[in-house]
Amino acid sequence: MSDAETPQLSIEFRDAPCPSQPLAAIGLEDANLLDALSQFDPYGAWRVDLETGMVYWTRDVFEIHGMPYKEGPIDLALAISRYHPDDRELVMNCIEEATERKTGFRFVLRLATPDGHNKLVRASGLYRVNSQGKGEVFGAFSQFQPRVRTVAVNS
């Protein structure tokens, strides 16, 4: 991999949320977008309940973290502890900034694997007030994959 292709650790915040893009507008209100996104590589969704500090992950987020899947929440401190020690505070800062600014973020940071190595992960998050009137941050999560020119057809 050349220096130009070497991924860099990064964090980015939005000044204001993007306009909503409802799937219903294109006739996909009953589609599971994660099924399409995770056909070839793990790709999951997550949510942080800001009132309780509990995190909810889809199956692929557990897989990327090297943890067995379980239903129900996990503690935010446990989720943060899976990151490289130098990146843990950055993850918390992203959640705190999104909450304070009522906006979103994205990052590429290091996740520590159970075998003692690190892998780059990509996350994006967005603050919202849910249907119960409570604040939460939610988003997408995937392992960083170098860009490759390829086409795959699922038969």
Domain containing residue 64: CATH number: 3.30.450.20
Number of folded domains that form the chain: 1
With respect to residue 10, please indicate whether it lies within any of the assigned structural domains: no
Structure confidence at residue 129 (pLDDT): 96
Yes or no: say if 60 and 36 are a contact pair by the CB < 8 Å rule. Answer: no
Locate tokens 């390829």: which residue? 150
Residue range 60-95, pLDDT digits in tens: 999 999 889 999 999 999 999 999 999 999 999 999
pLDDT classification of 100: cutoffs 50, 70, 90 = very high
Could you tell me which of 60, 64, 43, 40 has the C-alpha nearest to residue 151? 40
- 3 band by pLDDT with thresholds 50, 70 and 90: very low
Instruction: Give domain status of residue 3, yes or no.
Output: no
For residue 141, the cross-strand partners are: 44, 123
Within 10 angstroms of residue 73's Cβ, the number of other Cβ atoms is 16
Residue 7: pLDDT band (50, 70, 90) is low
60 falls within a domain: yes
- Predicted pLDDT of residue 150: 59
| 49 beta partners | 54, 136
pLDDT one-digit tens code per residue, 108-142:
999 998 788 899 999 999 999 999 999 999 999 99
If pLDDT is split at 50, 70 and 90, which confidence band does 24 have?
confident
From the list 56, 48, 34, the residue with the least C-alpha distance to 94 is 48
Domain membership of residue 154 (yes or no) is: no
Task: Please check the confidence at residue 148 and state whether its pLDDT lies above 70.
Answer: no
Domain that holds residue 76: 36-143
46 domain residue, yes or no: yes
The verdict on residue 93 lying in a domain is: yes
Residue 21 lies in a domain: no
Q: Which residue has the higher pLDDT, 48 or 41?
A: 48
- Residue 88 belongs to a domain: yes
